[in-house]
Amino acid sequence: MSIKVETGSIAETMEGFAFAYLLTLGTSPRPHVVAVGVTAVDGALRVSEVGRSSRRNIEGDDAVTLLWPPRDAGGYSLIVDGNASVRGDEVVVVPERAVLHRPAPEAPAPADGSCAADCVELPVREGS
């Protein structure tokens, strides 16, 4: 199941998590994943101290994902998809989609094709 998160509430929602992973795409068929600290500023997410591989990947493909793992087993993960740009010593991510996600209890997958896990969609724009 997904729980949608409003853009304005991403910053508030982030407070319940210790750290995030930044996932970028390069020339490899696998994502590049690094643990990062994230701050929310004026509707964007700022990531500091990003390494060379992440920067190079973002310069080639600005689509990124930030993933905050749950603090406790069975808790929600916060997943934010967005577009990133390298600005000086930091990376700035503009969120496109955000959701709180956790596995659902064992049950058959829904016939309508909706999420079979326990997810909460987070809108990133007013009215979305």
> Within a domain: residue 39?
yes
Q: Over the stretch 97-109, which tens digit does the pLDDT of each residue have?
A: 999 998 766 655 5
How many domains are there within the chain? 1
Q: Is residue 13 part of a domain?
A: yes
- CATH code where residue 40 lies: 2.30.110.10
DSSP-derived secondary structure for 49-72: S--HHHHHHHHH--EEEEEE--SS
Query: Considering the entire predicted model, what is its pTM?
Result: 0.83
Domain extent at residue 60:
8-96
Tell me, yes or no, whether 116 lies in a domain. no
Q: What is the pLDDT of residues 69-83, one digit of tens each?
A: 998 888 999 999 999
- Exposed e or buried b per residue across 6-40, where buried means at least 16 C-beta atoms within 10 angstroms of its C-beta: bbeebeebbeebeebbbbbbeeeeeebeeebebeb
In-domain check, residue 119 = no
For residues 76 and 120, the answer to whether their CB atoms sit within 8 Å is: yes
